[in-house]
Structure 1
Amino acid sequence: MSGQGGQAFAEPEKRARGAATRDAILEASRHQFNRNGVQATAVYKIAGDLSISSGNLNYHFKGKGEIIAGLADTLDREIAAAARPFFAKAPSGEGFIQAMGGFLTVLWRYRFFFNASHYLGGISPDLALRQDAMRSLIRSMIRRSTVDQIALGTMRSPRAPNSANVIADNIVSVWIAWLQETMPDDSADDVPPPGALRNCIEHHFGVIEPYVSDTFIDRFCRALGHH
């Protein structure tokens, strides 16, 4: 009985250690992918960062593709959480900037995922599909938010040939270009460099400015002045 009891106590501890190692691998990989690019990051370098063997890493993830898939799962959850402020109510001014800042920071933390389209497709067709699905999810979220703001009167309905979908797609293009073109600051890998987040928010605002009220513009400009 005592041997079985000891094993019963050991199993949860073993699972906890395994989960901690898995999480550490994902975090180290995310940093390496963002800093050096997915293609230039070898699995043994990730293992070296964690002072574990390549075999230990391979026990948890069978290659780079599985690591990226695990990070994509985490990104899905973080995007869903960061999107909630946009739909709880139509944010304006300070609330709008905070909601955007939170969402864009999540994308920044996983920017490698949006900067390696061809390489991800080469690793696995499933990863290419995951990337397309991620972009579609973001596009759908912005489209829905734009439609909601028009319905609430926060934004004016655009005249043809523009539409809520066109506005949303332009916003997504601004975001993706920002992720691809902004040079990272190695001293703050998980947050955008100083001024970069403000730059993206200003470009985002440039897309929606023709359709928002003067009151929204005034609140937005005053709130942005505090950042």
Structure 2
Amino acid sequence: MKTRDRILHTTLELFNECGEPNVTTLQIADELDISPGNLYYHFKNKTEILSELFEWYEKEIGEILDVPETSLDIEDQWLFLHLVFEVIARYRFLYQDLVNVMSRHERLAGKFKRVIAKKTNASRQICQNLAQQGVLKATPKEVDALCKSIVLTATYWISFSTVIDGEQSDDTLNQGVYQVMTLVLPYLREEERAILREMGEAYL
């Protein structure tokens, strides 16, 4: 692996483990066993590393949020949420201290707002698709509120679970997906409710 890529992967691990504000370029260089000068040859400062990592995140999450315009079912929504939570877990440093990170990096804050908007639009498209099939029973206002609740829960689940459990695991991801799906549960037909309950029992 090239040094530049090693820097990015190692920094991502350190950010996730220690929190982005607590990691310095000297720590990154030390972890890689390279000189600070070697690191600065590839990146002028930590902000440049953070910006590139955010580009990775934005690309990965963007590919998932491009929801296909086809008929979806409850299993599809579950898979969609699972993939979203996997990306969130890979870049959890963004979510663990979201307000702090975004307040110190205004350019990233604007980009993250666009990601939030894409999450909301993707959730709305899925819910509207289910409503058109008669699977989900909700008014347009209820759908709008439901989608915002879905995005809110997904965005702050990492912070919430860190406070409660103190660490992240596969169970954290699975519980997050299930927590979001329970928001949808009251609006589903009884048949889909039963499917969702069965999936939850097998998943957790």
* TM bin (shorter chain): 0.7 to 0.9
User: Residue 82 of structure 2 corresponds to which residue in structure 1?
Assistant: 101
Once the 2 structures are TM-superposed, how far is the Cα of residue 151 of structure 1 from its aligned partner? 2.3
Gaps of 5+ in 2: none
Gaps of 5+ in 1: 1-16, 187-191
Q: Distance in 2 between matches of 1:148 and 1:54?
A: 52
Q: Tell me which of 181, 184, 198 is aligned to 1:205.
A: 181
Query: TM-score, structure 2 length as denominator?
Result: 0.85
For the pair shown, the structure with the greater C-alpha radius of gyration is 1
SS in 2 for 1:62: coil
% identical equivalent positions: 20
Give the aligned partner of residue 12 of structure 2: 30
Deviation per CA, 1:76-119, whole angstroms, max 9, x where unpaired? 221133335775541324x4433322220111111211233444
Closer/same/farther in 2, CA of residues 147 and 62 from structure 1, 3 Å limit: farther
Aligned length: 201
Tell me what 1:11 maps to. Answer: none
CA RMSD, 1 decimal: 2.4
CA distance 1:117–1:204, shift in 2 (3 Å) = closer
Structure 1 residue 168 displacement after superposition? 0.6
Q: What's the counterpart of residue 138 of structure 2?
A: 157
Shift of 1:33: 0.9
Find out whether 1:218 has 2:200 as its counterpart. no
Closer/same/farther in 2, CA of residues 73 and 194 from structure 1, 3 Å limit = closer
Residue identity in the other structure for 1:75: Y
Question: Offset at 1:170?
Answer: 0.4
CA distance in structure 2 between the aligned counterparts of 1:64 and 1:137, rounded to whole angstroms: 27
